[in-house]
Amino acid sequence: MIFVEEAETISTSAPNKKAKTSHQPAVCNKDKSTAVDKLLAKFIISNNFLLDVSKTPFLADLLKSIAEFGPTYELPNYLALKSQMIPDAREKLRNTLQISRDLSRKQAVHC
């Protein structure tokens, strides 16, 4: 298991606005970062993912969210993923794509 030192808080707001903070792990040395990189490579290879998965914003969002949640995050179980979470995500993606297609068609008509 890889342990990351306490997260540092970074302010992302203007002086007069309410501060938004994000917690980013403070990887204290290159060895820990390299170990995490190797785990990512192992995960991609062992699941037969295309390397292109590393280019998607979804992987970055997932990893950042897990890092922000912290070490107590537990993966959902297989049944929850299969019966609820994956179907819900597919439906949301279909709806988003349909809205995008509809907007593209409307823009094409107006050109």
Rounded-to-10 torsion of CA 31, 32, 33, 37: 100
- Residue 63 pLDDT: 93
pTM of the model: 0.57
C-alpha dist (Å) from residue 4 to 21, 56, 62, 67, 99: 19, 25, 17, 10, 41
User: 70 falls in which pLDDT band (50, 70, 90)?
Assistant: very high
Among 9, 5, 34, 4, smallest CA distance to 24 is for 9
- Residue 14 pLDDT: 44
Read off the pLDDT of residues 15-36 as tens digits, 9 standing for 90 and up. 444 444 455 555 567 888 899 9
- Residue 33 pLDDT: 87
